[in-house]
Amino acid sequence: MAAGVGTLNVSSNQLKMAVLKACRGIGVPVAQAQEVAAAIAASPLALNKLLAHLAKPISSASFDFSFGVDVQNAHLLKDFSVCADAVAQGALPVILRGVAKCDVTQALAQYHGVSAEMDNGNLHVAPHQYPAQRSGRCKVDPDDWRRLGVYAALTYVPETDASRLAGAGAGLTDND
C-alpha cells in the first residue's frame, strides 16, 4: 500500500491498541496479542497482511520437541511467541509448517529478534540481530483501519438500557 492521498495518520499507540484489541477479538491470548501489537506498531506496513491472519480461525497447534521445535497447524499470531522463545533458548531448528513468510512474519521476527525465512515450504525461525526499532506515527490505509476496527469491535459488549444506567456507576446528566 502506498501511503499518500487517502491515508490515515495515526499515532503509534493508537495503532498498537487497535491491533491489540483486534487480536483479542479473534481469541489470541492477551500476552501474545500485546506482542503482535508492539510488532505491528514498529512495522506498520505489515498491517494489511495482518488482516489476513486475523481472518483465520484460531487453531490448536501441535508441537514436537524431539528435535528442536516442529509446529503443525499453528496460528501465527498465537504461536509465534513460543517459537521465538525456543530460538532464544537454543532449541533449534524451529519450524512452523504450513506458514508462509509475509510482512507479519517479518514484523514478528524483528520484534522478537529472530529471523523467519522459508525453507522447503515451511517457515524456519532462527537467531538474528536487528538494529534497535523505534515505533512512531504512521500512515495507514483507511480501509485497512476500518477492517481492523471490525475485529477490535469483537471485544465490545453491545449496550443495553440496564448497562447504560448501571454499568458505569454515574448518572446521565450532571448539572450541579
Residues found near another protein in the complex (CB under 8 A): 9-14, 24, 29-32, 34, 61, 63, 65, 69, 78-79, 81-82, 85-86, 88-89, 134-137, 153-160, 162-164, 167-176
Q: Which is nearer to another protein, 78 or 124 (CB)?
A: 78
24 SS3 class:
helix
CB of 1 to another protein, least distance (A): 19
How many other β-carbons are positioned within 10 Å of the β-carbon of residue 31? 9
CB of 35 to another protein, least distance (A): 9
Q: 47 — alpha (psi -120 to 50), left (phi > 0) or beta?
A: alpha
Q: Which is nearer to another protein, 121 or 171 (CB)?
A: 171
CA distance 175 to 29: 42
The C-alpha cell 456507576 sits at 169
Q: Which is nearer to another protein, 143 or 160 (CB)?
A: 160
CB of 49 to another protein, least distance (A): 22
Using an 8 Å Cβ cutoff, are 33 and 20 in contact?
yes
CB of 122 to another protein, least distance (A): 17
Q: Which is nearer to another protein, 55 or 89 (CB)?
A: 89
C-alpha cell recorded at residue 175? 448539572
Using an 8 Å Cβ cutoff, are 123 and 129 in contact?
no
